[in-house]
Amino acid sequence: MEEVILSMEKGAMERWRQGDPWGFAEISAEDLIYVDPGRTKPLVGLKDYKAFLQQVEGKVLYQGSEFIDPRVVVAGDAALLTYNYRSSVLDEDGAVLGQTPWNVTEVYFRREGEWKIVHSHFSYIQHKVPASAEIPVLVHSSPQEYEGMLGEVMALESAAMERYDNGDPWGFTELSTEDVTYFDTVTERRVNGLEELKALYKEREGNVSCSVMDFIDPQIQVCGEMAVLFYRFLSTQLNPDNSVSHRKPWNCTEVFRRVDGTWKIIHTHWSNILGERV
């Protein structure tokens, strides 16, 4: 099954690099959530995704296409594909004129016997928040309450985030499986396994603080024992007079798997909204 998923992805990417984006539309579900560096909010639904693809048709052209350490995790009718990707523009002699490195997270669900992408998150490897950005958000008059599966998973996520933004990252490692994988804005490649993630978080222990955190429009997609949580996130640091010192806008994809009756993180993908290459 791993080979099937990877073959589908590579086939769509081969068409993409030649200016034909419709391979990805053909393997995407009606309820697709799509995230990339150029968007202030995700595209939700195949209709909007196709409208986006129509805008880029014939405009994306490059020669070098490298899938770096692709990894597929299958859980029943759900599959998580993660990889680093490098697109390269070459001259007529094959010399590299330019390269773009990517972090890629794809989640496939099998529906009526066919594998379809339900969640797609692309970000540049090692990117930064833009100097300024206008991020549209829906303002609620009262605190949001989440029900059902979303409420269950958000309770775990928000508790770990509360600890993280007070300099204690270990709530997330306690939620993660031994074979967890991880992308964020500074990683040079995908982080593989809990021990590598702990080493990364050790460097951040006590060094992260946030005065106000806002989860924006969290959404969940569930298939059997796998759940995909996506939200936008604003981390805000305040001055002593409670004015805003700075604010960072984020995209976050968390892929959970139920292990012995408990939801555990098997993959995390953080990126800056409108993140720019370093």
Pick the last residue of a domain from 71, 95, 128.
128
- Domain of residue 245, CATH code: 3.10.450.50
Mark whether 64 and 170 lie in a shared domain.
no
**Does the structure show a pLDDT above 90 at 94?**
no
Confidence of residue 92 (pLDDT cuts 50, 70, 90): confident
For residue 80, give the nearest of 254, 207, 204 by alpha carbon.
Answer: 254
* pLDDT > 60? residue 141: no
Instruction: Write out the residue range of the structural domain in which residue 10 sits.
Output: 2-128
3 state DSSP class of 53: helix
Domains contained in the chain, number: 2
In a domain, 156, yes or no: yes
The answer on 263 and 176 residing in a single domain is yes
Higher pLDDT, 237 or 82: 82
Look at residues 79, 95, 128 and tell me which one is the last residue of a structural domain: 128
Mean pLDDT, rounded, for 82-94: 92
Residue 191: exposure state from Cβ atoms within 10 A (0-12, 13-18, ≥19): buried
Cα–Cα distance list, 120 to 12, 36, 37, 112, 149 (Å): 13, 8, 12, 20, 21
pLDDT at position 139, please?
64
Residue 54 belongs to some domain of the structure: yes
Convert the pLDDT of each residue in 193-228 to its tens digit.
Answer: 999 999 999 999 988 777 778 899 999 999 999 999
Domain co-membership, 124 together with 159: no
| Any domain includes 138 | no
The verdict on residue 141 lying in a domain is: no
The length of the chain is 278
Name the average pLDDT for the chain. 93
Digit-coded pLDDT (tens) for 145-169: 889 999 999 999 999 999 998 899 9
| Residue 221 bridge partners (DSSP) | 228
- Separation between Cα atoms, residue 76 and residue 176, nearest integer Å: 20
Q: Average pLDDT for residues 80-101, to the nearest whole number?
A: 93
Assign 91 a pLDDT band (cuts: 50, 70, 90).
confident
250 found inside a domain = yes
Say what the pTM is. 0.95
d(CA 180, CA 193): 5
Q: Report how far apart, in Å, the C-alpha atoms of 34 and of each of 8, 25, 37, 120, 190 are.
A: 17, 11, 11, 5, 20
Is residue 62 a part of any domain in this protein? yes
Of 36-40, 88-92, 101-105, which gets the smallest average pLDDT? Answer: 88-92
Final residue belonging to a domain, choices 58, 93, 128: 128
What ranges in 71-165 are assigned the alpha helix state H?
A: 148-164
CA distance 142 to 256: 28
